[in-house]
Every structure is written in C-alpha cells, then in structure tokens.
Amino acid sequence: MSICSEIVVVGGGQAGFQLVSSLRAHGFDGAVRLVCDEPSLPYQRPPLSKAFLSGEVFADELSFATAEFYRDESIDVIEDRAVAIDPARRTIRLASNAELGYDRLVLATGARNRRMSGFEDVAGVLSLRTLADAMELRERLLSEGNIVIVGGGFLGLEVASVCADLGVSVCVVEAMPRLMARGVSETVSQVFQQRLEERGVRFMLGVAGLGLRLDGRRVVGVEADGQLLKTNLVLTCIGIIANTELAAEAGLSTGNGILTDGYLRTTDPSIYAIGDCAAHPNPYCGATVRLESVQNAVDQANCVASGVVGEAQTYRSLPWFWTEQAGMKLQIAGISSTADPTIVRGDLQAGAFSIFHFHDQVLVSVESVNRPTDHMLARKILRSERKISPEALSEMLGPVAPSA
Ligand SMILES: Cc1cc2nc3c(=O)[nH]c(=O)nc-3n(C[C@H](O)[C@H](O)[C@H](O)COP(=O)(O)OP(=O)(O)OC[C@H]3O[C@@H](n4cnc5c(N)ncnc54)[C@H](O)[C@@H]3O)c2cc1C
C-alpha cells in the first residue's frame, strides 16, 4: 500500500534512475517525475574513465534506458534544474520557474568534482565527472599526447591506465606516499603501482608542494616539489563535493552530505536523500558516512522505492566497490581498515589474489584482484553478518598462506 501518489526525484544519475525504475518495478502507479539538469538521458558514469575513454564504448551505449522506456513506464523526465524547495508547501521550483508539487521528494543530486583552488578557469586543466567532461578529455588526450594527473586515487589511476593503453605519456602526482591510500591496503597499492609502471605510467608520490605553471590563463606545466613537469593538459582527480546546497537552503540538515536517518529520510520526513549526496548511518561502518559508489546509489534507491511502496525498511546493504586498471579488476567487499591483520589467498605476482581483513578477529572486508569468485563469496559471508574468525575462514577456504 503506497504512502503517496506523487513523487519527484531531483537528479538523473545512477541513484535517480534506479529509484524511478524501481518504483515502477515495485508497482507504484502514481506520478513519477525525474528532474535532470544534464542534457542527456541518465547514463552510467563508470565507463567514462574506462571503456568510453579508451574508445571501446560509445556515448550512445552509456544510457541506462531509451526514451521509450520512460514513455512506456510513464516516467516524466524533465530537463531542468531544481533551484529551490518549499518544504511547507511541498513544492520545488525549477530554473525555468515551473513549480512541481510532491508527496515525497527524493534528492539524488550527486556530487561535483573538487577543483584546484585558484585554477578553476585555467585552459587545459580538466576534471572528469560527466559525459561532456569525458568527451573533452578523450579529444585532448589524443591531440596532446601527454598529460599530468593530479591525484592517485581510483579515478586518476583508471585514467592513467587508459592513457598508457592509448600511448599517451602520463605522470601521476600524488600527495600521499602511496596510491589509493584512502581505499585500499598497502599491498594492493604496491601491486597496482608496479603493474601501472610496467605499462609506462610514471608516479611522483608524497608530493608536498604542488602548483601549476601558467602562460596567461593557459596551463603549461605542473610544479611538483620544485620539479617542472611540462604539459598543456592536466586532469585533477582530487575528490568530490556532495551537492547539498539545495537541501541546505531548504533548511535540511547537511554536513559531509545531506544528513539522513536509517530510512534515508532527511530532517524533513517527506524528503529522502540517496546516492553520492547522502550521508547515512551505515551498520558496516558503525558511523554516519557518505559513500561514492554504484552499489550505494543502487541499493539506497531500492531501499527508498520499496519503503515508499510498501513497508519502510532501514538501509542495511553491504558496501562493495570495483575499479579496473592495468588489466586488473579490483573488487572490495566491506569497508577496509588498513591496520587490520590479514590473510592472503592466491598469487600476488600473478595479479590474482584476495586479501581478507579482520577487526578484533572478525572478518570485515575483502579485497579481491582478478578473483571474482572470492569477491562473491566475501559478499555472501559479510552480508550474512556471521562473525567469521581467521580460523573459521581458513577452514572454509582450505589452506591459505599467511600474509608477509
Ligand atoms: C568517471 C567515474 C568513474 C566511476 N567509476 C566507478 C566504479 O568503477 N565503481 C563504482 O562503484 N563507482 C564508480 N564511480 C562512482 C559512481 O558513478 C557514483 O557513485 C554514482 O554515479 C553516484 O550516483 P548518484 O546518482 O548519486 O550521483 P550522480 O551520478 O552524480 O548523479 C547526480 C545527478 O544529479 C544532477 N543534479 C544535481 N543537482 C541537480 C539539480 N538541482 N537539479 C537537477 N539535477 C541535478 C547532476 O547533474 C547529476 O546528473 C565513478 C564515477 C565517475 C565520475
């Protein structure tokens, strides 16, 4: 039994698309409106730094669904930007000045890239979030033939890997002493660094002093710890900022994201927030966190859709994530703590292994490189919420080599 008849979703990204399609899949028969401020129908972002950038996938293959899908499902896609929410009247105002009423409003406004302060409008300094960004980046990579990437996280390294495959000379500059330091263990950092170096990617790690060399308002180089890396093309991959302004201006609580409760409701119970923009209490993290992944966007959308149509349920999905670089697929189940003692299974040198992380003798996360079966098993175990000790895991998996 549905609790409302009119739902407006702001943001046509992974979370917004999943929400509107899940509402229909769950049998919701009220009005569904999806407000999108990008010029194309909702599309997948992960290929932008992978198969789209490398030229294996084209723009028209990125859409989640065709225009017919939205028409057949009676999902009203409104190409506009939401500029204000009036929670008392339950309306939103669009940039076109149109007003939409709602029973339930879902904010799926995602995030935008953090830019290097003071260099936002410099020619040749790009960032990657949208299809338009990816198109520009690909064109410039092919014409320039070299690039400096600022930031050695998942995104920067995926782009570096594609650059190497395309024969584009690439140097990655990173402030931390190792790659993907926020998200993976030291072992995984080392394996990926080695594989990327073998493909020709150069790294400067632990860089404390970073600046751009300009000619007028055009970049001509990156200054890293006193060294000048000459280039006309710089990609900054230094994190994202949640799009919380719309919520904050409407009086909803925000912090590092739009704050939600366990049901993904904001401080106004008729307004939800999901995906990259939402900070939520996560049982696997034991804290309020904001996660940036496809899994999080999809599962939160499904949670809200089933709550709106049927009985409200708390969000309890296991976080998982993947990245593809240097011919390797890394899949992470759970949230890793790098200090945890580990068990390693497989072959590091061959680039096919899994690292099992424990906290207080309980399995909390698993990193798998080119071991999809381990990843699926890890998700099953972690989702079951059974407390698995190193001994129990060893028994389950058969003989394992202890980590060095
Ligand atoms: C290049 C790239 C590669 C990635 N690779 C991976 C990967 O390998 N694995 C993985 O798990 N995750 C990956 N991610 C992350 C993943 O894509 C995101 O976590 C996911 O897209 C989040 O979905 P979302 O709907 O919350 O936000 P978004 O996808 O950012 O969508 C939000 C949408 O809302 C729109 N919007 C914002 N404000 C308004 C407004 N006021 N009115 C109307 N519309 C508005 C935005 O323009 C945008 O279209 C990648 C991301 C990028 C950019």
The 10s digit of each residue's pLDDT in 171-207 is: 999 999 999 999 999 999 999 999 999 999 999 999 9
Q: At what angle do helices 131-144 and 154-166 cross, to 10 degrees?
A: 40
Going from the C-alpha of 245 to that of each of 90, 110, 125, 252, the distances in angstroms are 18, 11, 25, 10
Which of 293, 295, 315, 332 to mutate for ligand 1's pocket (most ligand atoms within 8 Å of CB)? Answer: 293
- What number does the ligand 1 atom closest to the CA of 240 have? 53
Which of 100, 276, 302, 325 to mutate for ligand 1's pocket (most ligand atoms within 8 Å of CB)? Answer: 276
Alpha helix (H) residue ranges in 61-147? 67-72, 131-144
359/362 Cα distance (integer angstroms): 5
238/151 Cα distance (integer angstroms): 5
Question: Which of 134, 133, 165, 160 is CA-nearest to residue 147?
Answer: 160
Domain 115-236: homologous superfamily in CATH? FAD/NAD(P)-binding domain (3.50.50.60)
- What number does the ligand 1 atom closest to the CA of 49 have? 1
Q: Is 181 exposed, middle or buried (0-12, 13-18, 19+ CB in 10 A)?
A: middle
Q: Does the beta carbon of 275 lie inside 6 Å of ligand 1?
A: yes
Q: Whose CA is nearest to atom 10 of ligand 1?
A: 293
- What number does the ligand 1 atom closest to the CA of 277 have? 26
CATH topology of domain 327-402: Enolase-like; domain 1 (3.30.390)
The 10s digit of each residue's pLDDT in 11-29 is: 999 999 999 999 999 999 9
How many A from CA of 381 to the centre of ligand 1?
Answer: 29
Spans in the chain with pLDDT lower than 50? 402, 404
173 sits in which H/E element = strand 169-173
396 sits in which H/E element = helix 390-397
ipTM: 0.99
Domain boundary assignment for the chain? 6-112+240-309, 115-236, 327-402
Q: What is the dihedral of CA 321, 278, 177, 361, to 10 degrees?
A: -60
Which of 36, 44, 45, 77 to mutate for ligand 1's pocket (most ligand atoms within 8 Å of CB)? Answer: 45
Strand partners, 101: 91
Pick the CATH number of 6-112+240-309 from 3.50.50.60, 3.40.605.10, 3.40.50.720, 3.40.710.10: 3.50.50.60
pLDDT of residue 404: 44
Contacts of 376 (CB under 8 A, 6+ apart): none
Q: Whose CA is nearest to atom 35 of ligand 1?
A: 11
Contacts of 355 (CB under 8 A, 6+ apart): 185, 187, 188, 342, 343, 344, 366, 367, 368, 403
Q: Do domains 6-112+240-309 and 115-236 have the same CATH topology?
A: yes
- Strand boundaries in 80-140, DSSP class E: 82-86, 91-94, 99-101, 104-107, 111-113, 125-126
- What number does the ligand 1 atom closest to the CA of 35 have? 43
Strand partners, 150: 173, 236
How many A from CA of 209 to the centre of ligand 1?
Answer: 30
